Amino acid sequence: MNRPVRVRIAPSPTGYLHLGTVRTALFNYLFAKQHDGQFVVRIEDTDRGRSLPIYEQDILEGLKDINLAWDEGPDIGGPHGPYRQSERGEIYERYTKKLLDEKKAYWCFCSKEDLDAERKAMLAQGLFPKYSGRCRSLPREDAEKKRAAGEKAVLRLYVSDGRTVSFSDLIRGEVSVKSGSIGDFVIAKSEKELLYNLAVVIDDYEMEISHVIRGEDHISNTPRQILIHEALGIEPPVYAHLPLILSPDKSKLSKRALETSFREYLSQGYLPQALVNFLVLLGWHPDDEQEIFSLDEMIQEFSLKRVSKSGAVFSLDKLEWFNAHYIKHLPFKELLEVLWDFIPPVWKEQKERVEKILAIERTRLKTLSEFEKLASFFFVPEEYDTELLVWQKMNLEEVKEKLTAVLGLLANVSVFDIETLEAALMPYAQEQGRGEVLWPLRVALSGRKKSPSPFEIMSVLGKEETIKRITRACEKIDAYETAT
């Protein structure tokens, strides 16, 4: 194509922004940036009953969260506005009148009962159900009189039988459909109230969209849109249909997983850059084994030629892997800043302690929301079964002996940093057995099977709290042995 590259993302504000829409937006954005093109956001709110401002706000804010800056859109305007379909009625009216004047479309007054009867009759004859065209021959003057009298009508496009509707898809190659399987389909409820297929054709043309990159679920709409382009005498864009997102067992991804609000993932502690990195690899693969990409690297490497035709598998484990990677490598100051909203208010009063804990726990975090659970024992001692203190074949008397010895060694330690603590305790641990000393010590401090090393924990707790928790462990052993 000789025209400049212009792409768009056109979500419907009938629900919160979800992963499928974000992936489509990302692929459009990358394609535009690669070709020095423009990225447009358009709100397709033809479904007046279900479209809500709260959903539009969520969509726009979600796209901003991942830094997909658009060149034109409902919030910033542009030369091809308005960018909400609900505000484009006058533009639509010009095109519906053109179709009626040129006898490319007609008003249909068939009732739902009539259409149901037609459909059943065709199915009974083994025919593909489609509209019979009974209102085709109704003169336009008569149709206008019936509408003026208040009769309900819809606008249908004339579709001739016996031809093949084809288009070349950048991902799937040549796609063809017989027009006989389509019939005269409905394109509008009134001159200004259009259905999806007609509205999207007009909007893409008026906004000079060169490439339509969208989900595979729109392939069935494309032949109808090609027919509308032909009826209006306008050039269609180039199409590229992205693969579906599938669950790990290759079945269609559950509605709950797919339509979970994108911003809900953010609220669960997934970093925007991790989500973008994860999504770009859902259906696209680079020409090498690289997995970690910055947005700039994606722009350099992305190509529709390497977008798969087969479904892209959604794996929460893989998403967590990406998120853990970005948490681990994010500059500490930035990580602390994004983590701050996930920290209980009372902890924020001890910022220095939070910083120490984060430095220790960041390599174990898969999401930011996990921090509170991982770090809670640093602030409030946890209850645990006395038997958890036992390492392998030790008995509780031996455990208490080791903990008592540790208390004696710690009494002489004045600086509670990791290096000093290791120097004070490791010779004893090497002599008695690392597991025999360090396991009960770590459990006494954390109350958990899994936690950071006892030296890391003690460096955060400080001397007073460390001695208090080890002493409490010894008292638990005494109480347990008395009870048994």
Q: 466: how many CB neighbours lie within 10 A of its CB?
A: 24
Q: What is the pLDDT of residue 371?
A: 98
Catalytic residue among 112, 250, 255, 373: 255
Token pair 């001692």 is at which residue? 381
Q: How far is CA 343 from CA 320, 326, 376, in A?
A: 20, 19, 10
Cross-strand partners of 41 = 9
Token pair 């602030």 is at which residue? 379
Please tell me what DSSP assigns to residue 216: G
Which domains are delineated in the chain? 257-369 (1.10.1160.10), 381-483 (1.10.10.350)
Q: What is the pLDDT of residue 82?
A: 97
Q: How far, rounded to the nearest angstrom, does the alpha carbon of residue 450 sit from its chain's CA centroid?
A: 31
Q: Which two tokens stand for residue 54?
A: 């709260």
Token pair 């645990």 is at which residue? 384
Mean pLDDT (the chain, rounded): 94
Q: Give, for 39, the enclosing helix (H) or strand (E).
A: strand 38-41
Please tell me what DSSP assigns to residue 308: -
The answer to whether the pTM exceeds 0.85 is yes
Q: Tens place of pLDDT for every residue, the chain, 484 residues?
A: 578 999 999 999 999 999 889 999 999 999 999 999 999 999 999 888 899 999 999 999 999 999 999 999 999 999 999 999 999 999 999 999 999 999 999 999 999 998 888 889 888 887 778 888 889 999 999 999 999 999 999 999 999 988 999 999 999 999 999 998 899 999 999 999 999 999 999 999 999 999 999 999 999 999 999 999 999 999 999 999 999 888 887 777 665 666 678 999 999 999 999 999 999 999 999 988 899 999 999 999 999 999 999 888 899 999 999 999 999 999 999 999 999 999 999 999 999 999 999 999 999 999 999 999 999 999 999 999 999 999 999 999 999 999 999 999 999 999 999 999 999 999 999 999 999 999 999 999 999 999 999 999 999 999 999 999 999 999 999 999 898 7
Q: What is the pLDDT of residue 257?
A: 62
Q: Let me know if 255 is a catalytic residue.
A: yes
CB 187 within 8 A of CB 195: yes
